[in-house]
Chain A
Amino acid sequence: MVSKEEEKWANFHRDYRPALIAFFLRRTHDYAEAEDLSHEVFIRIADKDDTAFRQTDAYIFQVAANLLRDRGRRSQVRSDYASRQRLSDELGIDPLDPHRISVGRESLALLTSALEELPERTRQIFMLFRYEQIDQRTIAESFGISVSAVEKHVHRAMAKLIKALGEKA
C-alpha cells in the first residue's frame, strides 16, 4: 500500500514541477540546472515538518527564490546575475516577489467557471486525467477512443483554462 505521505509527495511533485522548472529555467537558461534546483526545493520542503505541505505557493517560491539567490552568490557572477535580473524585469516578473506567482482567488474562480463551460466529454476526460490520475490509455480504452483523441481532449481543456487566465491579464 502506498502511504498517504508518499501519495502526498507524488501529488506535490506533479503539481509544482512545471512551475518550478519554468521559474528556474527563465532565470538560469539551463534546463539541467533548473532540474537540479527544482529538486533542491522539494528536498528543502521535505526537511520541514508536515505543515510545510499546507504552505502556500508563496512559501514554495520563497524557497525557490532563496536558492536562486544563494546560487548567485556562490558563483559570484554578479554582473551576469544582474543582467538576468534585468531580463526578468523586462518580462514583468520580479524573481524575489513570489507573491506574483501565487494563483489568486480570482484566478481560481476563473478556472472553476472555465471547467464548467467545457463540453461534457472533454471535461469528464480531463477530470479523470488531472484529478483521479487515471492514465490516458485506460481512459481511451474505457471510452472506446484512441489515446491521441484523449490527449486532444486534455490539451483542449487546458487551452480553455489557459485562455481564461489570459483574458484576466
Chain B
Amino acid sequence: MRLVEVAGSSMTIEEQASAWCIRLASGHLDPAEQAEFDEWISADDAHGKVFDRAQMAWRGLSAIADSPEIIAQRADALDALRRANRSRWSRKVQGNWQWAAALAASVLVAVLTVSLWSNFQTSAEVQPEVFATNVGQQQIVTLIDGSRLTLDAQTTVTVLYEDDRRVLTLEKGRAKFDVGKDADRPFSVTAGGRTTVATGTSFSVELLRQDMKVVLFEGQVKVAAAGSAPSARSVTLAPGEKLVANLSPLAVPRVEQADLLGAKAWEDGQLVFIDEPLVAVLEQVNRYSRTKIEIGDARVSGIRITGVFNAGDSRAFLDAITGLYPLKTQVNSDRVVIMSKILQD
C-alpha cells in the first residue's frame, strides 16, 4: 500500500508532506518507497515547497523542545497519557474480573513498559545516569518505572535504579519528582545531607546555598538524615506541607504550610516568592540568567521579597525591586550588583 494513500486519499498536501517527513525521520526507505517518494515530490511543484516547510517544522520542534511553553505542554501530554493508562487498567480489571482479562491487562502493562522505556532495556550493569540542565533550561525526563523528573534550570540529578531501590541524588538546583508506584522499591532523593523517601507520590526537592527544601504535592514522604537507619528519626510530610532544613547536619528541620501553586509555578516559567529573603530569591532568579545578580552589601540581604516574576527576565526583576526598595544597581560585564542607596548616600 502506498504511504500517502494508507490513511485515505483525502489527505491534504500538508498531511502527505507530514507522512513523508515522519517516514524519512524514522529511517531508510525501501526501494518501493524511494520510487514513490521521487514520484510524489516531482509530481507537483507545490509538493517540494510544502515538504521543505514540513522538514523545517520538524527540525524547528527540536530547537524549542526545552522552552518553558513546550515543557508545560509536554508535561500535560504525559499526564494525559498516565491518566489514560490508569483508567484503562481500572476499566479492564473492574469490568471483567476473569483471569483472562487480568492476564491480558498484565501483558499490556508489560508491553507498554517495554516500549515506553526501551531506552533502559539492558540494565545488567547498573550505572547511575546523570541528567543536567544549564542556565535557563528546563527538562522533563521519564524514567523506566514511569516516574517523571522535571528539572529546573541549572539542576543536576543522578539516578540509580537497582532491583530493590530507586536512588536519586539532587546535586544542585531544583527538581520535581512524580513517582511511579512501586511498593517494593522505595524511591529516595538525597540532597544536602537529607534523604526524602517516597513510594508513589509527587514532590519537589530544592538545594539552596544554606538550605534544602522539600515540598509535598501528593501522597506521603519521609525525610531523614542521609545514610541513617530506617528506624532513625525522620519527619513525615503531609500533602501541602514544606520542609526547610539548614544544611548543617545538626539543624532541626522545620515544617510549614507550602504555597502549592507558587511551589509549582517554576514548571510554567514563573517564579513566585512570598516573603522570602533576597539571598534565596536571587539564587532562583540567577538559575535562568547568564547575567548573575549579586548582593553588594549586608543591608540589602535582609530585604524580603514578595511577587511573581517571569523566569529569565532578570531585567524586569531588577526594575521591580529597585522601584520598590531604596536600592541601586551597578552593572559589570557579566553580573549586576545590588546595593543599598541609603548606605551610599
Contact = CB atoms under 8 A, between A and B. Distances in A.
A139 B85 CA distance: 10
A111 interface: yes
Given A15-B59, A18-B58, A128-B77, A138 B116 contact: yes
Name the residue in B37, B61, B88 with the highest tally of chain A Cβ atoms < 10 Å from its Cβ.
B61
Interface stretch (A44-52, A63-71, A74-82, A154-162): A154-162
B24 A155 contact: no
A96 interface: no
B251 interface: no
A165 B53 contact: yes
A154 B57 contact: no
B337 interface: no
B18 A132 contact: no
B53 A103 contact: no
Given A1-B122, A138-B115, A166-B53, A127 B74 contact: yes
B74 A19 contact: no
Contacts of A123: 73, 77
Contacts of B7: 148, 151-152, 155
B117 to A, nearest CB: 10
Interface residues of A, number: 61
Contacts of B48: 22, 26, 91
A14 B6 CA distance: 22
A88 to B, nearest CB: 11
Interface in A1-35: 1-2, 4, 7, 11, 13-19, 21-22, 25-26, 31-32, 35
A15 B146 CA distance: 25
A18 B12 CA distance: 19
Given A31-B37, A108-B60, A128-B78, A134 B119 contact: no
B344 interface: no
A130 interface: yes
Interface in B5-62: 6-7, 11-12, 14-15, 17-22, 24-29, 34, 37-38, 41, 48, 50-62
A158 B29 CA distance: 20
A135 interface: yes
B112 interface: yes
A111 B61 contact: yes
Contacts of B142: 132
A25 B48 CA distance: 10
A18 B76 contact: no
Contacts of B125: 1
Contacts of B127: 1
B162 interface: no
B93 to A, nearest CB: 15
B112 A141 contact: yes
Given A127-B73, A131-B74, A107 B25 contact: no
A159 B18 contact: yes
A15 B14 contact: no
SS of B interface (majority): helix
A17 B74 contact: no
B80 interface: yes
B112 A162 contact: no
A130 B129 contact: no
Contacts of B88: 141-142, 144
B70 interface: yes
B100 interface: no
A125 to B, nearest CB: 8
B22 to A, nearest CB: 7
A22 B52 contact: yes
Contacts of B116: 134, 138
Contacts of A139: 81
Given A103-B56, A158-B21, A116 B69 contact: yes
Given A25-B41, A91-B48, A158 B60 contact: no
B65 A131 contact: yes
The 6 A-B pairs with the shortest beta carbon distances in the complex, nearest first, are A158-B18, A159-B14, A127-B77, A103-B60, A161-B57, A124-B77
24 contacts: A14-B26, A17-B25, A18-B54, A26-B48, A111-B60, A112-B70, A116-B73, A124-B81, A125-B77, A131-B61, A132-B78, A134-B115, A134-B116, A137-B115, A139-B81, A142-B84, A148-B7, A151-B6, A152-B7, A156-B15, A159-B14, A161-B61, A164-B57, A169-B53
Given A31-B34, A128-B78, A138-B111, 5 more contacts: A18-B25, A31-B38, A112-B70, A142-B84, A166-B53
